[in-house]
Amino acid sequence: GGGGATGGAALPTPPGGDGSLDDDKDKDEKKEDDLASLLSGNDKISVTDDELRAFLEKQREEENDDLKTFYERQKEDQAKALERYAEAHPGEDISEVKSLIEQNQQEQQDAMTDFLAKQRTDEEAQIREWVKDNPTATSREFDTFMSKQRTDQQASYRTFVEEQQKAQNTRIEEFAKAHPDSKPDDVKSLFEKQDQHGDQDIDTFLNRQRQDEERSLRRFIFEGVKK
């Protein structure tokens, strides 16, 4: 993701090839960008630390609300998957499988909530520190900083997801041992289907959230726009 994070800043075409026309267009766009920035005086930081802290807090609350809604949807998706599983296993008591799946999802959501809360706390501290340390920074310098932060976050998120996957595999193995008649392959495939769908969903959700966050932060810090 992160495609929306450059705020319309034109990237220069590498020299050579037939990019000369693009180069001229880019220069014009850059002139317009710079002119717009100069005219509105918005390419310099225009908020105090207190204002920034309050804005980040409000943003965090909104993100937490979005996450709760996302979790509810995950639970609905899972209930439907369990219904399909029950239809494919007529006459079987699937209550044990159901409680395994539900408990696993709850534990994963709790772990995700903790992980994102800690990440967000670090992120807010880094942003406030950067703004304090770089009072004359331009919005492009801010974009570069946010882009690096995003890359670091994505790396630690991937590590977190791998750990979650291991924990889930352990739960499935323990379940299979305790319920030798439970068709472990079917149970595993139920998890895999859920994972595939869920991982894409959560990645899309978090990427979009981060893009919105960067965009609204930039507008707030450099233009004072509250939303």
Res 17 pLDDT > 70: no
pLDDT at res. 37:
53
Cα 171 to Cα 167, 177, 183, 194: the distances in Å are 6, 10, 15, 15
Q: How far apart are CA 104 and CA 78, in angstroms?
A: 11
Res 21 pLDDT > 80: no
pLDDT at res. 27:
60
pLDDT at res. 7:
38
- Residue pointed to by tokens 């509250």: 226
Res 11 pLDDT > 50: no
pLDDT at res. 84:
92
Structure tokens at 225: 């726009």
Q: At what angle do helices 139-178 and 184-223 cross, to 10 degrees?
A: 160
Residues contacting residue 1 through CB under 8 Å, at least 6 positions apart: 207, 208, 210, 211
pTM score, whole prediction: 0.78
Cα 192 to Cα 22, 29, 45, 70, 172: the distances in Å are 46, 47, 47, 19, 11
Structure tokens at 146: 């946010």
Residue 175 sits at the vertex; the CA angle it makes with 170 and 176, to the nearest 5 degrees, is 100
CB count in 10 Å sphere of residue 131: 19
pLDDT at res. 23:
53
pLDDT at res. 26:
59
pLDDT at res. 95:
93
> How high does pLDDT run on average in the chain?
84
Average pLDDT over residues 99-105: 94
Lowest average pLDDT, out of 27-41, 52-66, 104-118, 160-174, goes to 27-41
